[in-house]
Amino acid sequence: MPAVEFPYYEFRIKPSEPFPNGQVALRPVAVAVLVASTGKRLRCLVCLDSGADSCVIPSNFAPVLGLDLSAMKTNLTSGVGTNANVTAYDYIEIDLGSGIRFRTYAGFTPGLNALGLGLLGQSGFFELFNVCFCHKQRRFTVETS
């Protein structure tokens, strides 16, 4: 099966009491182009997160994409450290490059504004693509068909 290979991104984490030498976190992150139903687009980072129920992106991306959060259907979502985030949904297209392009019903959540990146979750991403996480080789692959 043809697949696209992505490198893990390295994120350096400052020293803390349990990790006095700091840490290097390897995260399955990729550059993505988001295209909204308005036709507006934004290039950003997304993290493949098999623990996320669906695809979510920062709510402050919405005005840049020409979307009105108050006009969208909402529910409440939560993550570690955040809960009861009002999350508004719309269909967007996500392009990871190399032929990996898909349409998904994504949530715009304030819970991701501080991070400034999107999460690709089970519904709308992992249900569409087979993904292999090869942490030891510092890469992950996404099958393209």
Asked whether position 3 contacts another protein by CB under 8 A, the answer is yes
128 lies in the site for another protein, by CB under 8 A: no
Cβ nearer to another protein, comparing 45 with 86: 45
Alpha carbon distance 101, 54 (integer Å): 16
For residue 118, the minimal CB distance to another protein (Å) is 11
Determine which residue in the list 26, 45, 72, 86 makes contact with another protein, applying CB under 8 A: 45
Give φ, ψ of 8 to 5 degrees. Answer: -65, 145
User: Which one of residues 1, 20, 39, 51 is an interface residue with another protein (CB under 8 A)?
Assistant: 51
Give me the least distance between CB of 114 and another protein, in Å please.
Answer: 6
Interaction pattern, residues 68-97, with another protein; x per rule: CB under 8 A: -----------xxx---------------x
User: Which positions touch another protein (CB under 8 A)?
Assistant: 2-7, 9-14, 16, 23, 25, 27, 30-31, 41-45, 47, 49, 51-52, 60-61, 63-64, 79-81, 97-98, 114-117, 119, 139
